Each structure stands twice: as structure tokens, then as C-alpha cells.
Amino acid sequence: MPSVLFVFTLTTKTLSAHLYYVLAPHATIDIASPNGANPPVDEGSVKMFENDPESLKFLANETIKGQAHQCQEAPRMFDLPVDPVNIKLANEFYRPGKIVSAVCHGVAALVGVTDTQGKSIFAGKNVTGFSNAEEEILSKTKDVPFSTEDRIISLGGKYTKADKPF
């Protein structure tokens, strides 16, 4: 069975429930966050997904709670993009060809990750992630440290998004 490391932000912007349950039958999942134990959960996301069975199952799962409690100290859209441990970890995954992936704002955590030549891992690749239009809908444009969409494009990524937000 392959191993998967989830890196949790300390800011409250991720809820990785769906991905977790897709991978759980096929991989050993570990989780990490910048300050170790008990990374926070975004209350806004919890409310938005309060009728989503997968998310509820994820939040209630004692195994996952136990993992979060003992979360390894490793490397948030605020902390992770510049966190040296997060960048080092992702570099070390990416360079030998291991899969490094993210969704939504999580993509922002990878903007400092580079290949062995020091080139952004986004350069020349098809990429998506939280869009400027989506930040505007949530009135978050002024609250985020940078635009995920603009940054991907400035790093040479071929940014595309769905016709409709979210």
C-alpha cells in the first residue's frame, strides 16, 4: 500500500474529507501541520458542508481525530506558501517523481515548490485552483495574502477554470 501525507494548514481553509475517503482504502494516510497537533477546522466550511455526509463522517471519525491529535509537526494559504518545512517536504516529494497535489486554496501551498533546476512546478503545466471570481463571490479578495489564480499564471502555469464558479 502506498503512503500519503496530508499537510494541514493552521489557518482554517481546508476540509479534505472527500479526498480522504477516496484514498483511505488504497493508502496509508498521515497528516502534518506547521505546529503539530490539532490543526484547526474552518467553521465556515463546516457550516457550508453541514449536510454533506462525507464531511460529517470525516469530522466525527475517532481514528482521524486521533491522528489530528498526534499530528506531526511539519508545515497554511497564509502559512504554507512560505513555510520552509512545507516547501522542503514538497520539493523532496516532487523531485523524485512522487505525486504532489492540492485542490482549492491548497494549490497556494505549492507556489514555492520547484524542480531540481529551481523552476516552479507549475511552469508549463495545466493547473487549476481557487479563482479570482470565487474570491470575489466570497468577498475574500482583500483577506487573502495573494491571488492563487494570478500567482499560478505568474509562475508560468497554464491556469484554467470551470465556466461557472465552484
Q: Which residues bind ligand NAG (CB under 6 A)?
A: 24, 57, 61, 63-64, 126
- Residues ≥6 apart with Cβ < 8 Å to 71: 8, 31, 32, 33, 36, 37, 38, 39
Q: Please name the helix (run of DSSP H) or strand (run of DSSP E) that holds residue 118, with its range, or none.
A: none
Cβ neighbours, 10 Å, residue 31: 19
Measure the CA–CA gap between 19 and 14, rounded to whole angstroms: 11
Cβ neighbours, 10 Å, residue 120: 19
Beta carbon of residue 125, minimum distance to ligand NAG (angstroms, whole number) = 7
Beta carbon of residue 92, minimum distance to ligand NAG (angstroms, whole number) = 23
User: Closer CB to ligand NAG, residue 126 or residue 139?
Assistant: 126
Beta carbon of residue 123, minimum distance to ligand NAG (angstroms, whole number) = 13
User: Closer CB to ligand NAG, residue 16 or residue 86?
Assistant: 16
User: Closer CB to ligand NAG, residue 77 or residue 155?
Assistant: 155
- Three-point CA angle 100, 16, 8, nearest 5°: 65
User: Closer CB to ligand NAG, residue 31 or residue 77?
Assistant: 31
Beta carbon of residue 93, minimum distance to ligand NAG (angstroms, whole number) = 19
Task: Determine the residue type at 47.
Answer: K
Of 13, 40, 48, the closest CA to residue 129 belongs to 13
User: Closer CB to ligand NAG, residue 3 or residue 63?
Assistant: 63
Beta carbon of residue 156, minimum distance to ligand NAG (angstroms, whole number) = 14
